[in-house]
Amino acid sequence: MNIAVVGGGIRCKRLIQVIQRHEFQEIDPKVVAVADLNDDAPGYVKAKNNGLFVTHDYNDFFKRDDIDLIIELTGNMDIYNDILSKKRKTVRAIANRTAQLFWEISRVSILQKKTDQELKETRARYKMIINELIQEDVLVIAYDYKIMDINDSLLNRLGLQRKDVIGRYCYEITHHQDLPCSGEHHPCPLIETMKTEKPSQTTHIHLNRDKKKIYYSISTYPLLENGDAIGAIEISRDITKDINVQKTMMQQEKLASVGRLSAGVAHEINNPLTTILTTAMLIQEELDPQDPNYQELETITKETLRCRKIVSSLLDFARQSTPARKPCDINDIVNESVVLTNKQAAFKDLTLSFEPGTGIPHVLLDKGQIQQSVINLIINAVEATEAGGTISISTAYKPELETIEIAVSDTGEGISENDLVRIFDPFYTTKDTGNGLGLAITHGIIEQHNGTIGVESKLGQGTIFTIKLPVTPGVIHAAS
């Protein structure tokens, strides 16, 4: 019996392997041809490597007179009906669902050959491994993406019961999709494992409820039966913390390197700038204010002072001195910062408000550094917000996280996604008059206080910067 297969996927490969290895008693089936649009389909590749006839167009089968049976494995009923209308009367055809039925029956028959004792022992060892020894999320997936088993860890995370999961497609349960994972950002390791019969690993990026990225490391290991891969064990682990630690270390190394360079450059530039400034001012004193050169010297003086301000920022960035921590009331620090920046906000006709949190404990902080950070954020908000807008600052205590939060939000123009990932980089700025050091300095200060600073923004929808500082154990919790 010569068989032609339409659909060169994993099941086609499995069919070829089973027919090649099994000794049939009454018939002699052989797969002689495979059709698939994808050159990389596992069954198509297997057939081609075995020297069988392969094609992208199953209509080529109808030109041959040596085919006895056509098996349609795509699951597309339009294709199956087309085959029925075009095949010769002497050629039989089997649809995908019928083939699946025979496949399941054959698997059940093989499993039933094992003794009950063997099955009990195997299941006991297996359950112990996936539920007790492996702490990560585990799925056992068949070649057709259907879930055969799941461990308790993943069930608990998903909030589902076993009966809700078994027999359903893996991508439906874990990704809430109608089709298998694919593409550059969500490759399917199961496909690779079934194709190569070797372990495969990839990383998927998901978004949580707050639209923040969560990184999952997903590994698949082939399940072999009589030497053939019939599925895979998938082990996934949340590696978001590891990724974030790596990013933080890279950022710290970048800041440290730029800081060392900045300190050297700043010191070298500062002395000649002082000489230029002093000389220009001395010459200016000897000239009449109406002299044309007087205004030129005025320009030199102003630009030199601007350069010195940039140099001062470089030194602040490079210094990154160890914080002189003392017990502080965060509401007092933020309130003073608001008072110092209120005139700048009023000058642009902006509403600047502060909503202090209650029950906030005193914490060990360098008051000057934290105040500098808050002022930097408020000034940035002022510069990004048009007249008539609002800037809101608030504080809060999160006892469950043992952190204090400072939020600075504005109704400004917002930040694009491309700029958002770089705003803490030194010397990166979108302002015409900015030097790109304010946020880098702020980032360094907060990290030296073992805290974090995050940002949420969309173009046209404003921006929110959030500072999170840990509550230091042992400090008297004087509520503010």
Domain locations along the chain: 2-109, 115-238, 243-319, 326-470
- Dihedrals phi, psi of 184, to nearest 5 degrees: -65, -40
pLDDT of residue 257: 66
Homologous superfamily of the 2-109 domain (CATH): NAD(P)-binding Rossmann-like Domain (3.40.50.720)
pLDDT of residue 69: 92
pLDDT tens sequence across 109-123: 555 555 455 555 555
- 243-319 is classed CATH 1.20.120: no
pLDDT tens sequence across 347-361: 888 989 999 998 899
Q: Is the pLDDT of residue 306 over 80?
A: no
Helix axes 438-448, 367-384, angle to 10 degrees: 150
Q: Is the pLDDT of residue 48 over 90?
A: yes
Average pLDDT over residues 441-457: 85
Average pLDDT over residues 68-80: 90
- CATH class entry, domain 326-470: alpha beta
pLDDT of residue 313: 60
Please report, as a single letter, which amino acid is at residue 249: M
Q: Is the pLDDT of residue 281 over 50?
A: yes
Distance between CA atoms of residues 343 and 47, nearest Å: 78
pLDDT tens sequence across 11-25: 888 888 878 877 777
pLDDT tens sequence across 347-398: 888 989 999 998 899 988 888 888 888 988 998 888 888 888 999 999 999 9
pLDDT tens sequence across 81-111: 999 999 988 899 988 877 777 666 555 555 5
pLDDT of residue 479: 47
CATH number of 115-238: 3.30.450.20
- Average of per-residue pLDDT values in the chain: 80
pLDDT tens sequence across 127-177: 555 555 556 788 888 888 898 888 887 888 888 888 888 889 888 888 888
pLDDT of residue 476: 46
Q: Is the pLDDT of residue 438 over 80?
A: no
SS (H, E, C) the chain: CEEEEECCCHHHHHHHHHHHHCCCCCCCCEEEEEECCCCCCHHHHHHHHCCCEEECCHHHHHHCCCCCEEEECCCCHHHHHHHHHHCCCCCEEECHHHHHHHHHHHHHHHHHCCCHHHHHHHHHHHHHHHHHHCCCEEEEEECCCEEEEECHHHHHHHCCCHHHHCCCEHHHHHCCCCCCCCCCCCCCHHHHHHHHCCCEEEEEEEECCCCCEEEEEEEEEEEEECCEEEEEEEEEEECHHHHHHHHHHHHHHHHHHHHHHHHHHHHHHHHHHHHHHHHHHHHHHCCCCCCHHHHHHHHHHHHHHHHHHHHHHHHHHHHCCCCCCEEECHHHHHHHHHHHHHHHHHHCCCEEEEECCCCCCCEEECHHHHHHHHHHHHHHHHHHCCCCCEEEEEEEEECCCCEEEEEEEECCCCCCHHHHCCCCCCCCCCCCCCCCCHHHHHHHHHHHCCCEEEEEECCCCCEEEEEEEECCCCCCCCCC
Find residue 2's DSSP bridge partners. Answer: 30
pLDDT of residue 34: 95
Share of the chain above pLDDT 90, in %: 19
Q: In what order do the strands lie in the sheet with 213-225?
A: 147-150, 137-142, 228-238, 213-225, 200-207
- pTM beyond 0.75, yes or no: no
- Report which of 193, 159, 194, 195 is spatially closest to residue 174, judged by C-alpha positions: 159
Instruction: Name, in order, each residue with C-beta under 8 angstroms of 36's C-beta and a sequence gap of 6 or more.
Output: 6, 7, 8, 9, 12, 43, 44, 54, 56
